[in-house]
Amino acid sequence: MNQFDKKSQAWSALFSEPMSDLVKRYTSSVFFDKRLWQADIAGSLAHAEMLAAQNIIAAADHDSIKQGMAQITREIESGTFEWKLDLEDVHLNIEARLTQLVGDAGKRLHTGRSRNDQVATDVRLWLRGEIDLILELLVELQKALVDIAEKNVEVILPGFTHLQVAQPVSFGHHMLAYVEMFARDAARMADVRKRVNFLPLGAAALAGTSYPLDRERVAVTLAMVDEQGKPCVCQNSLDAVSDRDFAIEFTAAASLAMVHISRMSEELILWMSQNFGFIHIPDRFTTGSSIMPQKKNPDVPELARGKTGRVVGHLMGLITLMKGQPLAYNKDNQEDKEPLFDTVDTLKDTLRIFAEMVGGITVKAEAMESAALRGYATATDLADYMVKKGLPFRDAHEAVAHAVKAAISHNVDLSELPLQVLQGFNPKIEKDVYECLSLRGSLNARNILGGTAPGQVRMQIARHRARLG
């Protein structure tokens, strides 16, 4: 019987009894870590190539390993590969099949390495590829937001603080706020990628190895290099096999991205409600009620808001996982994969669906402008007007408060108060005050870098288009 046909395949000679079925199920990871198979094979091929170059294994063994891995790749891609619980994880499943296919050459592959540095390498390679996909998805979402911003630069939205009408803003300007958030998310992801892209392989179990491995060669083969092409190799063997900072960092960056999506979701939910009526979301992103036929529920943004808590929970889980571990590798670290995998899946799915959903939003400009008129959104503009007429700001603030009170008592907007009434709050007020009291005038007045004036918004749109390509 081949040694890999037993659960104790990698350490069988030491043990006097087989592992129980309950423990097999409890300790096995193959049915979730098998998604690392491509990274595992890539790492093994790079390791084998280096072993041959260093004359640690024969060239013929290297050729056999390459042929066996090609066959395994075909089997996994076609769905015919048999994943075995008894073989515990993705690494031993692939190694066992390789040994079946190529014999002793397969047994020589593990020379100079441990599953400790192997899994650390696999996770880093896999996560690097996922980050690259996430960066592309972040670009697509930003482009969708820039598109809707450009179409609605002149649309006036009530800007809110404390969920109360504060000042009028361009709807396009509001959408660009989320572009800024997702741009920061992309920058964080790119920065995390630099630290993900380090090679642990060669650290072996924890202390390195006595074989003359060329770790830098493996790093170059796996494209684990910096911007100048210099190999990025973990410099301490203990840290190399036990470090999961990169997974925590990634999950933190993913959590922030999901928080930004959640904030946008909250606004979309409010805006499409009957109480606001600012936007329409395509029916394919909503569901109905099983009992109330009139309902159209914003399930996608609501679920994204809920999934944010799950991703943030994964971050807390990973931090807690690592906080009590002594050096070096411990079995605890098997628990890093499911939260990491789920975080990646959740973020990718959410980014994909939001890019499509944002592109389908219909803006109800009249409803937005009407809401802005109901909230005395130009009160600050009246205060600024008085300041320009020579009144100290705090005095202007007090005078406008009285003006708003008067408008409320007459159930009118500030712009609808007669000139003589306004002059009662400040005799320097003249007829030109009505320009600053209009929503459009208020919008145009904020013509400053980062401001909501349409000209400034268009400049920001051009900047983002140039950046996003």
Q: What is the pLDDT of residue 291?
A: 77
Question: From the CB of residue 450, how many other CB atoms can be counted at a distance below 10 Å?
Answer: 12
Torsion of CA 464, 466, 467, 469, to 10 degrees: 110
- Which residue among 111, 126, 159 closes a domain? 111
Contact at 8 Å (CB) between 317 and 274?
no
Q: What is the pLDDT of residue 374?
A: 87
- Which residue among 369, 393, 412 closes a domain? 369
Cα separation, 326 vs 201, in Å, equals 20
Catalytic residue list contains 289 = yes
Q: Given 12, 20, 273, 289, which residue is catalytic? A: 289
Q: 279 with 261, same domain?
A: yes
Q: 311 with 329, same domain?
A: yes
Read off the pLDDT of residues 63-100 as tens digits, 9 standing for 90 and up.
999 999 999 999 999 999 999 999 999 999 999 999 99
Query: Residue 122 falls within a domain, yes or no?
Result: yes
Q: 177 with 98, same domain?
A: no
Q: What is the pLDDT of residue 9?
A: 53
- Which residue among 318, 347, 369 closes a domain? 369
User: Which residue(s) pair with 158 in the sheet?
Assistant: 168
Instruction: Return the amino acid letter for 452.
Output: T
Q: 360 with 388, same domain?
A: no
Task: Tell me the CB-side half-sphere exposure of residue 255, using CA atoms within 13 A.
Answer: 18
Q: What is the pLDDT of residue 296?
A: 82
Contact at 8 Å (CB) between 399 and 421?
no
Catalytic residue list contains 242 = no
DSSP 3-state assignment of 25?
helix
Q: Given 162, 210, 290, 409, which residue is catalytic? A: 162
Q: 172 with 309, same domain?
A: yes
Query: Residue 20 falls within a domain, yes or no?
Result: yes
Instruction: Sort 63 into a burial class: Cβ within 10 Å, 0-12 / 13-18 / 19+.
Output: middle
Q: What is the pLDDT of residue 2?
A: 47
Cα separation, 464 vs 469, in Å, equals 8
Q: What is the pLDDT of residue 191?
A: 99
The stretches in the chain having pLDDT less than 70 are: 1-12, 289-290, 293
Q: 309 with 419, same domain?
A: no
pTM: 0.93
Q: What is the pLDDT of residue 292?
A: 76
Query: Residue 2 falls within a domain, yes or no?
Result: no
Q: 241 with 355, same domain?
A: yes
Domain span at residue 41?
A: 10-111
Q: 154 with 275, same domain?
A: yes
Cα separation, 440 vs 150, in Å, equals 17
Q: What is the pLDDT of residue 61?
A: 99
> How many domains does one find in the chain?
3
- Give me the chain's average pLDDT, please: 95
Q: What is the pLDDT of residue 16?
A: 79
Q: 211 with 266, same domain?
A: yes
Q: What is the pLDDT of residue 293?
A: 63
Q: 103 with 209, same domain?
A: no
Cα separation, 149 vs 130, in Å, equals 29
